Structure 1
Amino acid sequence: MAFSEFEAKKIERAASEFLEDQRPPVEIRAKLDLAVRVSGQSVQIVEILPHFRDPSMNIESPVAKATYVKKSQRWKIYWMRSDLKWHSYTPEPESRSIEEFFAIVSADKNGCFFG
């Protein structure tokens, strides 16, 4: 089930604010950048890097994910471990809003999202 138009705009606005604060300087973005992807009921933050063998191609590495659970009206928060599987973010496994999710990722108290 996709997000409603209102929810999609809210996510877009929150993602835009997050990226404005967290993206690297313009001169570095060709070598490292961040993006937000929405798929189904999930919002993912990804790092974008040039492929080491072919710099004209990019590699997207997932950093964080929030999945909306309509029943509880909460966002479940996940981080990508080195085993390339999503794991619940133990310090704060849920957030009440998408803005709170982006704030938690920005704070990154345990260094799970950006090392």
Structure 2
Amino acid sequence: MVMNVLWREGRCPASRVVDQVAKHSDWHFRTVKTLLRNLVAKGFVGYEVDAQDSRIYYYTPLVDEEQYLQQERQQFLHLYYGGDRSSLLAGFLQDGKLSAAEAEKLRRMLNSSAEEE
């Protein structure tokens, strides 16, 4: 949610990020500020301090959405599945039914991936 605001708004003050996130969630402003701090630490977001008011921080996305999602997927895969993609996929398949269209799309992706190896 925080990254979506930054991708949409570009460079913006923390207060604007908090306001935009609050429209879609009940997150406290401290939660949003903590998320911003973590995103900065991971290198996804940069910030500048206002030259006239050191209490105002402007945040800017440093990665595009696909780069961010790829990194988050990899972290999730390694954290929860030890890097085993087949276990991750099997878990998702066991959790819910796929539509025929989803199954066909997945089949094509798997075939394409296997052919590349």
| Bin of the TM-score, shorter chain as denominator length | under 0.3
Q: If the length of structure 2 is used for normalisation, what is the TM-score?
A: 0.24
Q: If the length of structure 1 is used for normalisation, what is the TM-score?
A: 0.25
CA radius of gyration, larger in: 2
